[in-house]
Each structure stands twice: as structure tokens, then as C-alpha cells.
Amino acid sequence: MTIGVLTSGGDAPGMNAALRAVVRCAVVDGMQVKGIRHGYQGILDEDIIDLDSLSVANILTTGGTMLKTARCLEFLKSEVQDQAADILRKHGIEALVVIGGDGSFRGAAELAQRGINVMGVPATIDNDLGCTDYTIGFDTAINTAMEAIDKVRDTSASHERACVIEVMGRSAGYIALYCGIGNGVEEMLLPELYDGNEDAIAERMLATRAKGKNIYMIVSAEGVGDASGLAGRLKEKTGIDTKAIILGHIQRGGSPTCMDRVYASVMGSRAEALIRDGKRSRVVIYKNGEFGDMDILDSLMVRKALPNDFLMMSRKLIR
């Protein structure tokens, strides 16, 4: 049997660990593995390489993706998806492992509807997939962001400044929520909840200062909007020196944490096992403390909310 594997969408630390697990388990089970470079673009370009156990040596500890990744807008077209399914068949690829986020799974679901057996492995720093509590890369990203925010705290405290620190997450607030709690910030702005009331933030900044606490750290998810503009307006409203810091792509890079390496290894090996066991078009998930899998089309219907208990608790801790 021949299987294909690709990484797609924003890269995430741990994608390489998942790829390694897919390849090594497939080799043990007697399969041939073809790596498709640059995500869905690589199918269209037939940018396909043979992979064996040695090809994935020394990648477990590295960030990024050895197979490269891409955002392929052409692949949104139905006729291009037909063409991609034909190319996969032409190369004898009987099943395709897609390591990526929500968009990549939507692409995989299109291929599934065209008769390709796809297996999704959730990998995105955003942790925004409803079907799973965990996505590969999230743990590394929040630890990278947390360390950076700690450093911003030192300088903000020394200058008695306020700051708005923008973290990634697309339209989800998971990274901001975890850093908000983990860094003990004064305020977190989450797209799922933010009401846009900047006057209220300014009042809280002034009240905090009046109490004698001369630091005000705001973690803002990128989905909330422009952090620089917000910092400028808060400075104007309060008279408090307020800096904007945009953490950006450092959150996507770096060596994966142990958790990301281990969970990616488990998820990659599970995707291969599903193929080996004759299952069709599933996604590997981690839900309520257990690894499992579900139908890819069903997985796309599940919405994700922020954990209410975390939100309630964080309100008590911010003082």
C-alpha cells in the first residue's frame, strides 16, 4: 500500500514529529510513503518525494515542517480539487495524511468527497479546532509567548508603563487566554468576548494605578484588532505611557515542547493506524483526556468555545 502525507496552512512546532510518526509507523507496517511538499500546492505541482525511516531522522526536535507548507488559494476551486484527486490516484496514493488546521481539514474533506481516503492530524498554534481539545503546536506557542511576555513585564514594571501585547490565534482567543492566566496580566482581550469598550479599559487602568499598582499588562488576541492603535488611544485617554508589542511569528517557530513532541507522535501514529486498519476519512482528536478519532465531515461541524471555568477563575485572579 502507498500513502501520502503533507503539511498545510500555518506551520506549527510538532508537525515534524507527527510526520516522523506517520512515516516510521507506515514503514513498520510495510507501506510505501510519499511526502507531498508545500501542502495542497504540492499535489497540483506533483512535488512528491519518497520518504523512508531515514528521511525523517533528526526532525523530531525541530520546529517548522520538513515538507514545507503553503496556503494554496487555487485549491478552493472545485475543478482544482477534482484535478488534485486525479493526481493523487495517478501517483498510486491510496490514502493521504493531512497535518494542518481547520482550513487544511476543509480541503481534506473535499478530497474525501472525491473518493480519496484522508486522515487529518490537527496541527495549528491557534488551538481553534472544535473537534479536539488539543492541536499540535499550541503548547510550544504558549510557552514561547509566555516567556516573551515575562520579559515585557520586567521592562514595563521598571518604567511603570502599561502595554498591549498582541498574540496570534486568528479569530480564536486560546493563546491569549492561556498567556493571560499564565502571565498574570491585568487584562485579556479575547475575540470571543470583547465588547470594544475602550473607555472601560481606560477606567480600569486608572483605577489600578490609583490603588498603587503601576503596571498594567494587557494581552490582546490578534482577532480583537490593531494593538498599536489601541495602545495609542489608551495612552491618550489615561495619560499613562502605553506601548504596543506584537509578538508575531516568533510564536510559530522553535523546537517543540515535550508535550507537543509526544502528542504529535501519538497523533501521527494513530493516523497511520487508522489507515492500516481500513478506516476511511477520519481525524485524530484528543478529547476529555483521551485520544480518539471522528469522521472528518462531522469534525468540521463542531464549534469551539473558550473554557468557561478558566474564564471565571481568571476574573478572580485579576486584581
Residues at the contact surface with ligand ADP, assessed by CB under 6 A: 8-10, 40, 71-72, 75-76, 100-104, 106-107, 110, 124
Residue 206, helix vs strand vs coil: helix
- 38 is an interface residue for ligand F6P by CB under 6 A: no
Which of ligand F6P, ligand ADP, none sits in contact with 180, Cβ below 5 to 8 A by type? Answer: none
In whole angstroms, how close is the CB of 71 to ligand ADP at the nearest point? 4
Annotated catalytic, 126?
yes
Smallest distance from the beta carbon of 287 to ligand F6P, in angstroms? 21
Strand 162-167 with 290-295, pairing? unpaired
Distance CA 59, CA 294 (A): 28
Residue 16 has, within 13 A of its CA and on its CB side, a CA count of 19
- Select the residue whose beta carbon is closest to ligand ADP and give its number: 103
For residues 6 and 101, is the Cβ–Cβ distance under 8 A? no
Per the residue annotation, which of 45, 82, 102, 126 is the catalytic one? 126
The site partner of 17 among ligand ADP, ligand F6P, none (C-beta below 5 to 8 Å per kind) is none
Contact 108, 81 (CB under 8 A): no
| Window 108-167: residues binding ligand F6P (CB under 6 A) | 124-126
Residue 76 contact among ligand ADP, ligand F6P, none, beta carbon within 5 to 8 Å by kind? ligand ADP
* C-beta closer to ligand ADP: residue 10 or 13: 10
Looking at the Cβ atoms of 43 and 185, the one nearer to ligand ADP is 43
Residue closer to ligand F6P by CB (options 74, 160) is 74
Instruction: Give me 234's grid cell.
Output: 489608551
Whether 252 and 13 have beta carbons less than 8 Å apart is answered as: yes
State which residue, 10 or 256, has the beta carbon closest to ligand ADP: 10
φ and ψ of 208, to 5 deg: -65, -40
Taking the CA atoms of the chain, what radius of gyration do you get in angstroms?
Answer: 22
The rounded distance, in Å, linking the Cα atoms of 285 and 279 is 15
* CA 294 to centroid of chain Cα atoms: 19
Which residue numbers are catalytic? 126
**Which spans of this chain sit near ligand F6P (rule: CB under 6 A)?**
10, 101, 124-126, 168-170, 222, 252
